Amino acid sequence: MAQQYFVYIMTNRSKTLYIGVTNDLERRVYEHKHQLIDGFTFKYKIRFLAHYEITTDIREAIAREKQLKGWLRARKIALIESVNPAWKDLSEGWFESHPQD
């Protein structure tokens, strides 16, 4: 299976936006949700996955990240709302523990 890369947009309750790229979306979202990394996402409590895109080309992922970062805020919001109009946390339920059977 080809390596996958993810361009993602995370947000907080105030809809502050953070755009990033990773090769492991689940791990990266976990790090943001649990504030394991200092910086912008820690400071602004960025914890909700609002949008992501998948590619198998790291150069394409980085180019898309730069493209999205260059967009006006209104265009970023329109992108999110085109696929996630309720701003649902797309990672909801990813990290909940399940009882042992």
Task: Walk me through the domains of the chain, giving residue ranges and CATH numbers.
Answer: 5-83 (3.40.1440.10)
pLDDT at 96: 74
Percent of the chain with pLDDT over 90: 89
Q: Are 51 and 83 in contact (CB under 8 A)?
A: yes
Q: 97 pLDDT band (50/70/90 cuts)?
A: low
pLDDT digits (tens, 9 = 90+) for 10-46: 999 999 999 999 999 999 999 999 999 899 999 999 9
Q: 66 pLDDT band (50/70/90 cuts)?
A: very high
C-alpha 96 chain-centroid distance = 18
CA dist 72 and 78 (Å) reads 10
Mean pLDDT of the chain: 93
pLDDT at 101: 41
